[in-house]
């Protein structure tokens, strides 16, 4: 035990003395949560839009006022032709154009039906989608209000020139993704690097010649990063609750338990990497391509898995972050309990055991 404490103390010295790495490790979650939470948010405020009103009647005027007064939109200019819409989009000065056809009010009065067209700048699909959703909501709202005192309901049909993108779930689905990413970076990459570093320096040999059991050396390497990860998880959760105003709807205990489980997956993976290579650069490269990229691409955090081609959907099942992401999403955002996420938890636990067994085996082979 005393030996073990010596080892852990030493690891902490390494981490604490390397100020820059410390700064990155503790600062990264803050930077990421703020980046993903604010800068990359899908929620759009005060987007500049244009209106092409071919009807110019009381109904369109009322709707335009409605839209302009919402906090989402600022009407930038009024256009007079379809050609102008395209030109304005090309200049990039607007994100959305609303087109009212001729006789809007008349159609509404006589046929109880009218059409609005929403044209969005699809080069930024997320924003485009969010904007068209907001605009549609405002129009529906207006429609409900004017229908109130009539027998036959008015319907204003909105037609959006863009396909629905199911991935768009609002800014706070980013939080589970950032948690997965940060844990991966801290645990996988840092453990892999710190073990490989000792190999490069030759100190690993000294440790292996000592009476310490190899497994103790490895566990001692992992403990400080496990603690760091818990600090990071807390930072992320605090930031998301108090800064991004994302509530934790499920059990906090369950959330932490799942996060520790995922941390173990990452540590095991880092260990596996460190056992397979002797150079820090390669360790870093494998961590990035083997863990970080799949986490971003295939966990469902950036791109919806259900939209992927079948082979990728199948591959995504072996990405631990996919399971962790869906667990955190369910627990934190939807308030699910263990009775809902037990399957994912089991898969994650399975992957952990597999990776741990593999890496310990690999470590032993290297010693023989």
For another protein, how many residues bind (rule: CB under 8 A)? Answer: 24
- The region, left, alpha or beta by phi > 0 then psi within -120 to 50, assigned to residue 163 is beta
Closest approach of Cβ 213 to another protein, in Å? 9
Per rule CB under 8 A, is residue 19 in the interface with another protein? no
Per rule CB under 8 A, is residue 3 in the interface with another protein? yes
Nearer to another protein, 146 or 212 (CB): 212
Q: Which stretch binds another protein (CB under 8 A): 3-11, 159-167, 174-182, 256-264?
A: 3-11
Closest approach of Cβ 185 to another protein, in Å? 22
39, 152, 163, 209: which one contacts another protein (CB under 8 A)? 209
* Cβ atoms of 51 and 79 closer than 8 Å: yes
Closest approach of Cβ 199 to another protein, in Å? 10
Helix pair angle (174-183, 320-328), 10° resolution: 140
* Cβ atoms of 326 and 250 closer than 8 Å: no
Per rule CB under 8 A, is residue 159 in the interface with another protein? no
Give the count of alpha carbons within 13 A of 171, CB side only.
22
In three-state secondary structure terms, 58 is helix
40, 206, 243, 314: which one contacts another protein (CB under 8 A)? 206
Per rule CB under 8 A, is residue 212 in the interface with another protein? yes
Q: Which stretch binds another protein (CB under 8 A): 188-196, 202-210, 283-291, 329-337?
A: 202-210
Per rule CB under 8 A, is residue 20 in the interface with another protein? no
What does the alpha-carbon distance between residue 164 and residue 162 come to, in Å, rounded to a whole number?
Answer: 7
Q: Which stretch binds another protein (CB under 8 A): 13-21, 104-112, 138-146, 286-294?
A: 13-21
* Cβ atoms of 9 and 223 closer than 8 Å: no
Output b/e per residue, 192-219; b: 16+ Cβ within 10 A.
bbbbbbbbeeeebeebeeeebeeeebbb
* Cβ atoms of 158 and 136 closer than 8 Å: yes
Per rule CB under 8 A, is residue 367 in the interface with another protein? yes
9, 113, 140, 169: which one contacts another protein (CB under 8 A)? 9
Which backbone phi and psi does 55 adopt, to 5 degrees? -100, -45
Residues in the site for another protein, rule: CB under 8 A?
Answer: 2-3, 5-7, 9-10, 13-14, 17-18, 201-203, 205-212, 367-368
């Amino acid at each position: 035990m005393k030996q073990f404490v010596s080892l852990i103390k030493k690891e902490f010295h390494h981490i604490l003395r390397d100020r820059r790495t410390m700064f990155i490790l503790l600062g990264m979650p803050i930077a990421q949560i703020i980046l993903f939470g604010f800068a990359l948010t899908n929620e759009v405020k005060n987007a500049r839009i244009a209106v092409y009103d071919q009807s110019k009647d009381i109904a369109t005027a009322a709707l335009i006022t409605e839209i302009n007064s919402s906090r989402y939109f600022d009407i930038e200019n009024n256009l007079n032709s379809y050609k102008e819409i395209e030109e304005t989009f090309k200049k990039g000065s607007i994100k959305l154009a609303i087109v009212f056809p001729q006789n809007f009010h008349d159609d509404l009065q006589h046929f109880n039906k009218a059409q609005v067209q929403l044209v969005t700048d699809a080069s930024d699909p997320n924003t485009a989608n969010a904007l068209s959703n907001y605009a549609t909501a405002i129009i529906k709202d207006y429609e409900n209000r004017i229908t109130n005192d009539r027998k036959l309901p008015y319907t204003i049909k909105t037609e959006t020139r863009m396909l629905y993108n199911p991935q768009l779930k609002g800014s706070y689905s980013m939080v589970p993704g950032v948690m997965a990413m940060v844990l991966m970076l801290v645990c996988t990459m840092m453990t892999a690097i710190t073990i490989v570093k000792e190999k490069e320096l030759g100190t690993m040999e000294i440790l292996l010649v000592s009476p310490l059991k190899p497994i103790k050396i490895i566990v001692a390497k992992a403990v400080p990063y496990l603690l760091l990860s818990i600090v990071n998880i807390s930072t992320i959760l605090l930031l998301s609750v108090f800064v991004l105003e994302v509530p934790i709807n499920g059990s906090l205990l369950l959330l932490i338990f799942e996060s520790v489980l995922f941390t173990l997956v990452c540590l095991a993976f880092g260990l596996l990497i460190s056992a397979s290579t002797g150079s820090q650069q390669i360790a870093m490269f494998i961590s990035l391509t083997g863990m970080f990229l799949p986490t971003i691409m295939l966990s469902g955090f950036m791109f919806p898995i259900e939209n992927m081609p079948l082979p990728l959907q199948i591959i995504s099942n072996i990405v631990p972050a996919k399971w962790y992401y869906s667990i955190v999403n369910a627990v934190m955002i939807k308030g699910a309990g263990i009775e809902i996420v037990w399957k994912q938890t089991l898969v994650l636990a399975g992957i952990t055991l597999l990776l741990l067994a593999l890496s310990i085996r690999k470590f032993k082979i290297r010693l023989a």
